């Protein structure tokens, strides 16, 4: 009886090891996988079909996992394994199993270590995917992330495959994939024996995407701030809402940017404000740009912002000229030389300017008429 009890304990441990993905259920494939590992540890030939037939005879419960596969209970698993050994062989089998299961335990622990790291990495990847920060990843966001990942890894990108992958993860057909669905969907695609290698690969992808986004995000942020400052004529760090709308129209005037800027995404809070500061202006427009389009947006914004700044420089140049002219006009008005201009002095100057203006217009019209007659 002692040998049987030991076998029950060892097969119970093996059942725990079967659950390599730690989802709390054991499927047929997981049972076969642990059989294979035990056979490999003992140096024995392994026949997966025989293993499948062995477990097919067991009592599979009514429960299924997330993929719809039937699961086996601990008791049913132990009964199947015990049934393969004659009672007279219990002592020998227990000693043999105890020796070889230790290696499987070591492998299992190593896999679980990398599984936890992968779960954490996919959690961070979810944050990258959910760039609209609403707690779910839409098909558009998933495709955007996959495109950026493939670019970082220099791999071929298929929008159709990306969409299919998203549909597989959206188990409740809600139209959005939450964190749990995202992590589980990605983990299901990785066999436990590949956890370690996949962990390094996903970590590299995270690093590449993080660097690309940081650089693109900062570049666009700088460009939007430069555009804002070009319209901040008062230099007070705020612009009127109507001015912001004018600037938006100029930014959206570029067909390329119209595809990426989602006007509706500019927060209602900002739209209700009479004045908008630089931080709000930049944040609310930057948050409406999908990260996978940063490169294209930068290519469109760079020359556009440069043109806006050049226009602003020209305006400032003529503004200074007008200030000089009006300063001179003030000095002319101030006939009394007291540093102040009276109403009478202003009217007198206006009359002189009006006479001069009409005189210039009359000469210009006369010259034009004369040239037309000559021609």
Domain range summary for the chain, segments of one domain joined by +: 2-108, 117-209, 211-314, 336-375
pLDDT (0 to 100) of residue 263: 45
pLDDT digits (tens, 9 = 90+) for 245-294: 788 777 766 554 555 554 444 444 445 567 888 888 887 777 777 787 78
pLDDT digits (tens, 9 = 90+) for 297-342: 888 888 888 988 898 888 888 888 888 887 887 787 777 777 777 7
- Do domains 117-209 and 211-314 share one topology? The answer is yes
Q: Which CATH class is domain 211-314?
A: mainly alpha
Rounded to whole angstroms, what are the CA distances from 320 to 192, 224, 228, 313, 314?
Answer: 71, 26, 21, 11, 10
Judge if pTM exceeds 0.85. Answer: no
Superfamily of domain 117-209: EF-hand (1.10.238.10)
Top mean-pLDDT range of 49-63, 222-236, 243-257, 267-281: 222-236
Do β-strands 238-240 and 275-277 pair in parallel, antiparallel, or remain unpaired? Answer: antiparallel
pLDDT (0 to 100) of residue 261: 52
* CB atoms inside a 10 Å sphere around CB 290: 20
What's the rounded Cα separation, in Å, for the pair 15 and 26?
Answer: 8
CATH value of 2-108 in 2.60.40, 1.10.3470, 1.10.8, 1.10.238? 1.10.238
Both tokens of 24, joined, read 């709390």
């Amino acid at each position: 009886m002692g040998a049987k009890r030991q076998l029950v304990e060892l097969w119970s441990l093996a059942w725990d090891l079967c659950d390599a993905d730690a989802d709390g259920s054991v499927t047929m494939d997981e049972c076969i996988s642990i059989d294979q590992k035990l056979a490999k540890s003992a140096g024995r030939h392994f026949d997966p079909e025989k293993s499948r037939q062995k477990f097919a005879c067991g009592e599979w419960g009514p429960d299924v996992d997330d993929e719809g596969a039937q699961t086996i209970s601990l008791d049913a698993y132990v009964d199947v394994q015990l049934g393969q050994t004659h009672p007279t062989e219990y002592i020998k089998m227990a000693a043999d199993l105890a020796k070889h299961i230790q290696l499987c335990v070591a492998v299992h622990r190593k896999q679980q270590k990398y599984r936890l790291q992968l779960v954490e990495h996919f959690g961070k990847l979810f944050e990258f995917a959910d760039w609209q920060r609403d707690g779910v990843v839409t098909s558009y966001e998933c495709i955007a992330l996959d495109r950026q990942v493939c670019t970082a890894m220099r791999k071929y990108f298929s929008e159709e495959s990306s969409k299919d992958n998203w549909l597989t993860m959206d188990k409740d057909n809600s139209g959005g994939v939450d964190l749990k669905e995202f992590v589980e969907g990605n983990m299901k695609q990785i066999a436990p024996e590949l956890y370690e290698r996949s962990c390094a690969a996903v970590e590299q992808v995270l690093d590449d995407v993080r660097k690309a986004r940081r650089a693109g995000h900062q570049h666009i942020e700088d460009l939007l701030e430069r555009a804002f400052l070009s319209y901040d004529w008062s230099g007070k760090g705020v612009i009127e809402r109507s001015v912001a709308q004018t600037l938006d129209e100029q930014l959206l005037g570029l067909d390329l940017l119209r595809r990426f800027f989602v006007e509706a995404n500019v927060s209602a809070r900002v739209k209700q404000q009479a004045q908008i500061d630089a931080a709000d202006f930049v944040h609310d427009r930057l948050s409406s740009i999908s990260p996978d389009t940063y490169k294209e947006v930068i290519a469109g914004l760079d020359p556009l912002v440069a043109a806006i700044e050049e226009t602003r420089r020209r305006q400032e140049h003529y503004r200074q000229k007008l200030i000089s002219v009006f300063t001179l006009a003030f000095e002319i008005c101030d006939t009394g030389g007291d540093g102040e201009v009276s109403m009478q002095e202003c009217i007198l100057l206006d009359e002189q300017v009006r006479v001069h203006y009409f005189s210039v217009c009359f000469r210009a019209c006369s010259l034009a008429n004369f040239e037309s007659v000559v021609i």
